[in-house]
Amino acid sequence: MAKKEMGVVKGLFLFVPLLSSVFTCVLCARELNFGLDPFYQLDSVPSVVKDFDLKRYSGRWYEIAAFPSFFEAKNAVDTRATYTLKEDGTLDVLNEGWVNGKREYIKGTAYKADPSSNEAKLKVKFSVPPSFPIFPVTGDYWVLYIDADYQYAVIGQPSRKYLWIISRKSHIDDKIYNQLVQKAVDEGYDVSKLHKTPQSDAPPPL
């Protein structure tokens, strides 16, 4: 094979994985765009927390349970999110999980969908893939329930495709967990899809 032809073939071998990665990111972006479905009834969306305090909400939260999703590894453990309030009223977001002992993470931003509202309707924005950010992806993040001390929360979004139960601690007792699950049921979620997230007795270091 001529040297020029070999160069073309080599270039194709380099291009195909890149193209595949871009295609995967497009699919991921479409999946992460978890707003309202086109035919979803607007009068049946879940209710959200009122008088929501971003400052009290900031800090670390552990994923206790969640609906399986395209953008979270099925075998991830010790999954958690850390929110840091900035001076402009937005939150820096750090989502982390460990897969086969390796830390995987993505950074993003969260902000109130309507700055003038006291409702817990946020938008979250990430750029994917994390290692080489290309595509900005924005989705709804609604706090459906949070206790008075901001220790436990139920997170969802309008179409009810996604659900998270989170806590300040990596483990909660069954009574509290069942109460949080019932909150999701009350908002119309199919909790049969809910999977508990494995959390270590000693969470990974900061």
Q: pLDDT category, 7, cuts 50, 70, 90?
A: very low
- Residue-wise pLDDT for 46-99, tens only, equals 999 999 999 999 999 999 999 998 777 788 999 999 999 999 999 999 999 999
Structure tokens at 127: 């750029």
**Residue 15 located in a structural domain:** no
Q: Is residue 125 part of a domain?
A: yes
Residue 204 burial by Cβ neighbours in a 10 Å radius (0-12, 13-18, 19+): middle
Tell me, yes or no, whether 121 lies in a domain: yes
* Residue whose C-alpha is closest to residue 167's, from 78, 67, 49, 62: 62
Residue type present at position 180: L
Residues written for the chain: 206
Give the range of the structural domain holding residue 179, as residue numbers without chain letter.
Answer: 45-196
In a domain, 22, yes or no: no
More confident residue, 153 or 23: 153
Whichever domain contains 84, its CATH number is 2.40.128.20
Query: Using one digit for the tens of pLDDT, what is the confidence trace for 122-171?
Result: 999 998 766 666 778 899 999 999 999 999 999 999 999 999 999 999 99
Q: Would you say the C-alpha torsion 134, 136, 142, 148 has a positive or negative sign? A: positive
Residue 23 domain-assigned? no
Residues 142, 144, 150, 151: is their CA dihedral positive or negative? negative
Q: What are phi and psi of 26, to 5 degrees?
A: -60, -45
Does some domain include residue 189? yes
Element (H, E) at 105: strand 102-112
User: How would residue 37 be classed by pLDDT, with cut points 50, 70 and 90?
Assistant: very low
- Asked whether residue 55 is domain-assigned, the answer is yes
Q: What is the pLDDT of residue 156?
A: 97
Rounded to two decimals, the pTM is 0.78
Identify whether the C-beta of residue 36 lies closer than 8 Å to the C-beta of residue 132.
Answer: no
Does the structure show a pLDDT above 60 at 40?
A: no
More confident position, 21 or 198: 198
Which pair of tokens denotes residue 122?
A: 């946020």
Mean pLDDT rounded to a whole number for the chain? 82
Q: Which residue has the tokens 């950010």?
A: 133
Query: Is 9's pLDDT higher than 80?
Result: no
Q: Is residue 174 part of a domain?
A: yes
Domain count, the chain: 1
pLDDT of residue 107: 92
